[in-house]
């Protein structure tokens, strides 16, 4: 099957120069325009208004293209969502398009929210250079409208007239009518400097790459130490690309073939998983949702990396399986489908609200699933021993930055160390639930050693009765480390970054 094509996205240039301390261009350079007198355009009158001020300039919306709208424009709706994401820490739900809009607007909202979130550092540097005031102190809604406009000018390379025109309209709609002037002025200043790459003076390689690819510098620095420059750039580029979506197809081989035919007949580009026979990948998820195939039980949205963790657990018919930190329940459901209706699963999570997502779907599972809303470490002190325990631990999520673009701005080195302490606590609790001879699988969706290999090493030092079982019996060898762990990398394996260790308890 031909691999689905990703939407084309121009890559940033290699020039990492950026703003001077005063925000200006500085002196002339060979082949570059030199400084111009304020308000001049090569001897012609400049009617644009001063750089980045609130003057209206001469730009006006093109009234010929105006049309009635049944709801908020995609850019205005995306700006509102971006404000709420910054204020309410709600990226997962708010990144989705508005259900009331048509499919095209729905898709645009999602693309703007994800794109602006990914590229925020680079966009803000360009906007700070273009705006004469304190950009960080700007009212939140206007700041988001400007980010969307800059995203279209610098990243997607939308036609300048259309990008600025639509941003001006969005400012009038989402902010207020008199915000159109500053929107026009700032974005025209961004446009004039669009070929200048942002830079930080006296920056090292980590800082330059972090600015160019819009990541925190501390994150880039640690990846350079581990992967080197070439693979780090590949990882950064992968994190800024819209991810493929994994679909797990429920049922037999015949059901999988029928579902593939449904995708083809609906003209939804797809490709089979490189690792799991019951998974396919699609570029666009909305057509699948709108067709209600998920609601009807034909498929489940699940990345291959989480499917591979269930394979590493290898639940068998008749087992009692405990899924710690289970919500939203995808791994519980997949484990249930592999147990042929024999045995049982206990799914534990601290969030009763998130467990409702599993409860709404468990009726499709042939194997009984019991949900328990509790702190797993406390619940484990009185729990019945289980044949297999899956601990998909809370983690930094640095393996899923393409899917959760906001996480790069919400994580810190100190936070990783704090998570490690929580992971140790949960591992010790999980060990107490495993029967003699049983299996514990520790998994994360991060690529950081402090949360992965180092946690397993520390665990084994505390629990001499457990040992590592090499993962290559259950996982493709290309995804197994020399220590016998499952580990995927987004830029290398084209799936989410994840980790899994299979630990056997002595009899």
Euclidean distance between CA atoms 64 and 82, whole angstroms: 30
Q: What is the DSSP string of 351-408?
A: -HHHHHHHHHHGGG-SS-EEEEES-HHHHGGGPPPEEEEEEE-----TT-TTT-TTHH
Q: From CA 406, how far away is CA 113, in angstroms rounded?
A: 10
Question: CA quadruple 253, 255, 261, 266: dihedral positive or negative?
Answer: negative
- Return the SS3 of 452: coil
Report how far residue 289's alpha carbon sits from residue 429's, in angstroms, rounded to the nearest whole number. 38
Task: Determine the distance from the C-alpha atom of residue 35 to the mean position of all C-alpha atoms in its chain, rounded to a whole number.
Answer: 41
Enter the tokens of residue 403.
Answer: 């899917």
* DSSP tally for the chain: helices H, then strands E: 19, 14
**Residues 370, 343 contacting (CB under 8 angstroms):** no
Under a CB-based contact definition with an 8 Å cutoff, are residues 386 and 362 in contact?
Answer: no
Which of 299, 325, 395, 445 is an active site residue?
445
> Which segments within 393-489 are labelled E, that is strand?
434-444, 466-468, 486-488
Phi, psi of 38 (to 5 degrees): -55, 130
- Contact (CB, 8 A) for 452 and 416: no
N-to-C CA span, the chain? 47
For the chain, the maximum distance between any two Cα atoms, rounded to a whole number of angstroms, is 87
Comparing CA positions, the residue from 327, 275, 172, 257 lying closest to residue 496 is 275
> Which residue's structure tokens are 């992971």?
423
Respond yes or no: is residue 325 known to be catalytic.
no
Contact criterion met (CB below 8 Å) for 486 and 237: no
CA distance 113 to 85: 9
**Which are the catalytic amino acids?**
445
């Amino acid at each position: 099957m031909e691999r689905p094509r990703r939407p084309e996205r121009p890559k940033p240039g290699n020039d990492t120069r950026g703003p001077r301390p005063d925000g200006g261009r500085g002196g002339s350079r060979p082949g570059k325009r030199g400084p111009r007198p304020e308000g001049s355009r090569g001897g012609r009158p400049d009617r644009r208004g001063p750089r980045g001020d609130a003057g209206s300039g001469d730009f006006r919306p093109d009234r010929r293209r105006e049309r009635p709208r049944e709801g908020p424009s995609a850019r205005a709706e995306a700006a509102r969502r971006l404000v709420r994401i910054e204020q309410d820490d709600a990226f997962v739900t708010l990144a989705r398009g508005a259900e009331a809009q048509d499919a095209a607007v729905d898709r645009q909202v999602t693309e703007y929210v994800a794109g602006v979130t990914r590229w925020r550092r680079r966009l803000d540097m360009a906007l700070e250079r273009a705006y004469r005031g304190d950009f960080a102190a700007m009212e939140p809604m206007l700041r988001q409208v400007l980010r969307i406009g800059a995203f279209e000018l610098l990243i997607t390379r939308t036609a300048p007239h259309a990008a600025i025109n639509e941003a001006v309209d969005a400012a009038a709609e989402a902010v207020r009518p008199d915000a159109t002037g500053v929107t026009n002025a700032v974005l025209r200043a961004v446009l004039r400097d669009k070929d200048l790459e942002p830079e930080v003076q006296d920056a090292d390689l980590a800082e330059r790459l972090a600015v160019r690819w819009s990541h925190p510098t501390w994150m880039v620095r640690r990846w350079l130490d581990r992967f080197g420059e070439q693979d780090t750039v590949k990882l950064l580029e992968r994190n800024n690309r819209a991810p493929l979506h994994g679909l797990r197809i429920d049922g037999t081989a015949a059901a999988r073939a029928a579902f593939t035919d449904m995708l083809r007949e609906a003209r939804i580009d797809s490709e089979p998983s490189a690792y799991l026979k019951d998974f396919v990948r699609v570029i666009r998820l909305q057509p699948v949702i709108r067709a209600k195939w998920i609601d009807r039980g034909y498929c489940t949205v699940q990345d291959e990396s989480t499917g591979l963790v269930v394979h590493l657990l290898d639940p068998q018919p008749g087992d009692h399986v405990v899924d710690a930190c289970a919500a939203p329940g995808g791994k519980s459901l997949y484990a249930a489908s592999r147990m042929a209706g024999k045995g049982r699963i206990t799914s534990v999570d601290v969030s009763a609200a998130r467990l409702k997502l599993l409860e709404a779907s468990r009726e499709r599972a042939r194997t009984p699933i019991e949900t328990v809303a509790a702190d797993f470490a406390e619940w484990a002190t009185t729990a019945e021993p289980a044949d297999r325990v899956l601990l998909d631990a809370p983690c930094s999520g640095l393996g899923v930055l393409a899917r959760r673009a906001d996480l790069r701005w919400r994580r810190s080195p100190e936070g990783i160390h704090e998570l490690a302490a929580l992971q140790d606590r949960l591992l010790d609790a999980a060990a107490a639930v495993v029967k003699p001879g049983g299996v514990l699988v520790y998994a994360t969706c991060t690529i950081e050693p402090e949360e992965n290999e180092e946690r397993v090493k520390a665990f084994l030092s505390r629990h001499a009765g457990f040992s590592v079982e090499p993962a290559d019996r259950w996982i493709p060898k290309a995804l197994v480390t020399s220590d016998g762990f499952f580990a995927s990398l987004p830029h290398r394996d084209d799936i989410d970054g994840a980790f899994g260790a299979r630990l056997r308890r002595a009899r």
